[in-house]
Structure formats: C-alpha cells, structure tokens
Structure 1
Amino acid sequence: MTSVYREPLYDVAQLGHTELRTPDLEASARWFTEVYGLYTVAEDRDRVHLRAWNDDVLSSLTLVASEQSGLGHVGWRTVSPQALDRRVAAIEAAGLEGRWVDDSFGHGRAYRFTAVGGHEMEVYFETEKYRAPAGEEPALPNQPQRYDPHGVAATRIDHINLLVPDVPASRAFQEEVLGFKLRERLEPTPDTEVGAWLSLMTKAHDLALTREPADTDGRLHHLAYAVESREDVLKAADIFMENGTAIEVGPAKHSRTQGFFLYVYEPGGNRVEVFAGGIHIHTPDWEPVVWNTESGGRGSAWGTVMPASFMQHATPPLPV
C-alpha cells in the first residue's frame, strides 16, 4: 500500500506564552489572579507577568497596558537551540522578515515575525523555569509548585484561537514552516475552509484558526487555559457567577476536539476560555477529520446554541 505521507516536523514543542493587551491593566490583572486563579510573578507600571499553578515556566501570560484589547504576540517554544535555528531559516525562506528580540521576560532570545494572517508570533528555546520559593515547595517533586488553588484555579496554558482572513493559507504556513499537525477542519462547502484545529504533539489542538468575518487581520478570538476536569469547568461557572463575570456560553462540550468549555470576557474585553479534556492523538498518521456542518447543524456536541457574539466578537474590536 502506498500513500502520500509528509514527514512530520517536531522542531516546535509547545505554546509557551501569550501577551494580551488590555485598556484596563489593573482590572485585568485583578481578574486573572483573583477570579481566573493565576499568580503574579512580576509587574511594573505597564506590564504584569502571570503563570498558572502547573505551568513549569516562570510566566505563560503577560498583560500589557494598551488603548485597545487584543493579542500582543504569541510565543512558540522549540525543542532545542538547533531547532530554533532551523525554524528561523524556514520562516525566512517562506519570505517573512522578522527580527531577533533578546529582552523578553522569562525567556532567552526570540525570533519575532508577523505570521500569515497578521498575528505577531515568536519562536524561542531558552526559558526560565519556575522555582517555588521557600515554604511553597510541592509535596510531589514532579509539580512546579505546591497545590494551593484559588478562583477557577486554571492549571496550565492550553491553546489559542486566532482569526485569519484566509484559513487555508494560514494553515499551510503553520504546517509547512512551523510543523503544526492538522487534526480537524471545518469545510461547510467544498473548497470553503473556515476553521482548522492544529497541534504540535498529541493534544487535540494548540492552535485554532478561524475565518475572520471582517476586512482586517491580526485579531484574537480567545485564549484558553486548562483545568483538570469537567467538574472544574462547572465549578468555574459558579465562581464567575459569584464574581460578576458574565458567561458568554457554556458549560458545554465541543464537537471538534471534544473538550468541555466555558467562555467569558476578562475586564479588558478579551475572550477567555476554561477548557478541560479533549481528545489526545497518538497515531503518527492521523487523518484529519473534515466537518461539513457544526455537528449536524448544532453549535456544539450536545446541541448548545452558540450566541451571535461568539462569531462576531474578537479583539481588538472593530470600529463602530
């Protein structure tokens, strides 16, 4: 039996961190720590660096004071310094011009570039691991810190969803240049791809690309952190309710990825997801699943109707 099989790339290992812009840095930082359950590791007048309790790196999220909400950049960590050099060469060979940045918080030099789709991205290898201070050491040495949950208790950074004008073009770049593996895609009609879910290793997805409905680019749909179980997503709904955070949709189950979800907006206007579960892919020759409807016409696996805002809201918001 013969088939066309592209040799997979494993130079990029994981979603390392994101930078979110917010017009209300104080409110956003307070929400992410007190409600979402992250921890502050450093801050200054314009930036707050955060981490989840099971992130092994020093910081997975930076909030930046800005006039508008939206994505500053997203960072992808490579498996080695040599892999970083290979991916930089591939990015430049694809016709994209970037620059080296060596003053980032919590990690070493990074190659920053604008990806197909208009989003600022960077690739890097050297990173600072989190070391628990005295008195906060974990009981189990294979955890980065002592388990001391508060708020939603977001466990770790999980994935990001970006809006792009041309899903096939952006997907091709991510696959061919950075080594993402296509897991699922949404194609309502032949040759009309409006969504793609890609991962780097075995997760359901590290990156989702969905079609931008407006004549613009570089916008963020949502950032997601994982929690440990479905029950934690249900608990998050109660925590949001008690803290006055309006729930956009959920808890419910996704058709694609099969993850359990809950969506809200943080005070700066960025959409944030609480995510649990999702399929894990271990077969090396996975055949991407093609969806031609939203799971038989439903907005989610169990028939939960996705509100209009889910398709219309993104950051930065469009001018009125």
Structure 2
Amino acid sequence: MGVMRMGYAHVKVTDMTEAKNHYNGTMGLYETHSDVTPDGAKRVFYKGWDEWDHHSVVLEEGGVGVVKYGWKVEHEADIDDIEAKARTFGLTVERMSKGDNPEIGDGIRFVTPSEHVFEVYHQATAVGTEVGTHNPEVFPRHLVGIGVPALDHSLITTGDVGTMERMLSDVFGFYATERVQTSLDDDHECVGTWMTSNNQIHQMAVIGGPQGKLHHFAFRLEDWNSVGRAADLMTMDDVPIDIGPTRHGITRGQTVYFFDPSGNRNEVFAGGYLAFPDRPTNVWTVDQLGKGIFYHDRELNERFTTVLT
C-alpha cells in the first residue's frame, strides 16, 4: 500500500504554556512525551484518544508554522520504494535514524517542491488507544474539552500546485479526490488539489500561495453534533474562530476553522464521502471556489485566503 496515513504534524508555537492549554485543555489531546531540542527549544508530543501510535502532533516552542510532516508506510520495504521514486522525481533524499524523532524508527527525509519537509517511516512505538482493543467502549468516559480522536489532514500552500500534485502522485501514490481548475479544458491550470492514498477523503490538500506555508491542520470528529459542540467549547475557552460551524462543498465535510494561541489555524472536520482510486475526481472552477470552500456562505472570508503561518 505504501503510505497509510499522515503520522504526525510537527508545528511551532510562540508560547508553550498557552499552546498546552489549547491542545490539551481545549482540544483534549493526551501528552505522551516532552523534551528539549539541542537548540534549547521546548517540545511536547501529543496523541488523540483513538490513536495508538506514540504521537500525532508535536509542538516546538520558537515561532509559528509547520516544521515537518511524518508519513507512516505499511511495510519497511515501502521506505526504499518511496526513496527511489523521490530520487527519480528529482528530490534530494537523506536517511533519518531511529531516535531522530522520539519513538519513531528509521526512515527518510526530503524537502518537497513546495518547500515542506516530509519524513517517511514504518515503525512507531504503539501506546494504544484510550479505550483499548479488548471489548472497548465507544469513547473514554472522561474526555477533556473537545476530545478529538485523531489527526486528520493538512492544507499547505505552494507557488506551483501542479508540480506538488505530481509529486504526491508519483512518489506517494496519492490520487486527487477534488481539484480546483482555471477551466474544464484539458490544458487547465490546477490551483488546488485534495489528495489521498486510501478511502479518507483527503490527507493532504495543496493550494496556490507562498512556498513552505501552513494553512491549517485538522482533527477528526464524528458528526455535525460533534462539530457544533466543538464550536460551543471554543467560545467557552475564548478560542478565535475563523469561520463555522459550516460545510464544505469540496469534500462535503462539516467544519470549524479556528486559531491556536500562536496563530496557527486548526480545523475540526467531520463527514465527507468515501474515496476510491477509480472514483472520478470532482472538479471545481475558480468562479465557484467560494461555494466549494464554504458551501453555505458561498464566499471566502479575507482571513481564509490571507492568514498563513
């Protein structure tokens, strides 16, 4: 299968105390480890209650934006396969050793055409879900805050969406479930793509913009009611909401966009249809992008198109 899922998003925050209040107290993530980098920056590692690997979110004090993404593959041999494909694509690949990332095994690292750092690995320390695997309950009794189950996806920006789409396809075996194009003609320019390797509606989305920037990273929720409850809790905790609760036309997901205390945009996301490699790609034209992103309002707010970290 190759890439199974996004294993972790590693992001920077300006103040670790404020960040921990947000990601633990409001989002309900579980802290699994903390340390200090060789440069003296504080780091904290988190997982959602329904995740079994050691961590899915890493916070590093000292700025804003994304440091890197980790991608977990199904088999050890998939690492070599992706390395070969990355080199064929023209990327410079380096090996990473077990322990470079706490509780993560050997793998590879490369910089994408969008200037984001991707790491690929197979082994991660399994710590188990919060409900276990033997006659498990449907959720933990004592959830904190929103109680997000898991990391879901991310949206990044690049000056050349088409090249990034080809990289994700050629190197990772991803396919586009949704795409925004300048026209429906065969010689279209792609200005946005939503891509996955499995039945998840998207694992990585890419839109036009500055190189190396983070638009948002998202957490999975179950349904509309969970999204609405999340918005209520954000209001209780004075979390700045960008927009929502609302719905996407692209992916059909239900959503709230909001900001962590450092200004990194988060999302809670529910719904969406099942993806399959042989399902025709949904194509949106630029003139309908407002409806595609915010189905009810049918227009983009200024923050959504201008605030990046």
Shift of 1:137: 5.5
Shift of 1:30: 1.7
Equivalent in the alignment of 1:27 = 18
Shift of 1:18: 0.9
Which among 87, 95, 99 is matched to residue 90 of structure 2? 95
- Are positions 1:281 and 2:275 aligned together? yes
- Are positions 1:56 and 2:52 aligned together? yes
Count of residues paired in the alignment: 298
Equivalent in the alignment of 1:208 = 205
- Contact 2:50/2:131 (8 A) holds in 1: no
Cα distance, 1:238–1:192 mapped onto 2, change above 3 Å: same
- Are positions 1:122 and 2:113 aligned together? no
- Contact 2:113/2:163 (8 A) holds in 1: yes
Greater alpha carbon shift after TM alignment, 287-296 vs 164-173? 287-296
- Spell out the pairing of 1:212-291 with structure 2 (5 A cutoff): 212=209, 216-282=210-276, 284-291=277-284
Cα distance, 1:73–1:288 mapped onto 2, change above 3 Å: same
Tell me the SS of whatever aligns to 1:177. Answer: helix
Shift of 1:158: 0.5
- Contact 2:154/2:203 (8 A) holds in 1: yes
Structure-2 separation of matches of 1:11 and 1:296 = 32
Provide Cα deviations, 1:264-306, integer angstroms capped at 9, x if missing partner.
1101111000111111124x41221111146485352223543
Tell me the SS of whatever aligns to 1:194. Answer: strand
Cα distance, 1:38–1:85 mapped onto 2, change above 3 Å: same
Tell me the SS of whatever aligns to 1:26. Answer: helix
Equivalent in the alignment of 1:181 = 175
Shift of 1:204: 0.8
Provide Cα deviations, 1:106-161, integer angstroms capped at 9, x if missing partner.
210121110111101111101111146xxx66485467984531111111111010
- Contact 1:19/1:63 (8 A) holds in 2: yes
- Are positions 1:38 and 2:29 aligned together? yes
Equivalent in the alignment of 2:194 = 197
Cα distance, 1:203–1:30 mapped onto 2, change above 3 Å: same
Two-structure CA RMSD over aligned residues (Å): 2.0
- Are positions 1:79 and 2:79 aligned together? no
- Contact 1:240/1:246 (8 A) holds in 2: yes
Structure-2 separation of matches of 1:220 and 1:94 = 23
Determine what percentage of the aligned residue pairs are the same residue: 26
Higher strand share: 2
Structure-1 separation of matches of 2:105 and 2:138 = 20
Provide Cα deviations, 1:227-267, integer angstroms capped at 9, x if missing partner.
11110110011100011111110100000100000011101
Equivalent in the alignment of 1:18 = 9
TM-score for the superposition, normalised by structure 2: 0.91
- Spell out the pairing of 1:151-162 with structure 2 (5 A cutoff): 151-162=145-156
Tell me the SS of whatever aligns to 1:44. Answer: strand
Tell me the SS of whatever aligns to 2:280. Answer: coil
- Are positions 1:164 and 2:155 aligned together? no
Cα distance, 1:77–1:187 mapped onto 2, change above 3 Å: same
Tell me the SS of whatever aligns to 1:32. Answer: helix
Structure-2 separation of matches of 1:146 and 1:86 = 38
Structure-1 separation of matches of 2:227 and 2:290 = 25
- Contact 1:21/1:65 (8 A) holds in 2: yes
Cα distance, 1:251–1:182 mapped onto 2, change above 3 Å: same
Cα distance, 1:296–1:159 mapped onto 2, change above 3 Å: closer
Provide Cα deviations, 1:10-53, integer angstroms capped at 9, x if missing partner.
31111111100111122112210000111111112410000110
Tell me the SS of whatever aligns to 1:108. Answer: coil
Q: Give 5+ residue unaligned stretches, structure 2.
A: 37-41
> What is the identity, as a one-letter code, of the residue corresponding to 2:196?
S
- Contact 2:290/2:298 (8 A) holds in 1: no
Cα distance, 1:145–1:80 mapped onto 2, change above 3 Å: farther
Tell me the SS of whatever aligns to 2:190. Answer: coil
- Contact 2:51/2:128 (8 A) holds in 1: no
Equivalent in the alignment of 1:292 = 285
Greater alpha carbon shift after TM alignment, 97-106 vs 296-305? 296-305
Structure-2 separation of matches of 1:267 and 1:111 = 32
Structure-2 separation of matches of 1:145 and 1:302 = 31
Structure-1 separation of matches of 2:136 and 2:198 = 20
- Contact 1:138/1:146 (8 A) holds in 2: no
Equivalent in the alignment of 2:39 = none
Tell me the SS of whatever aligns to 2:8. Answer: strand
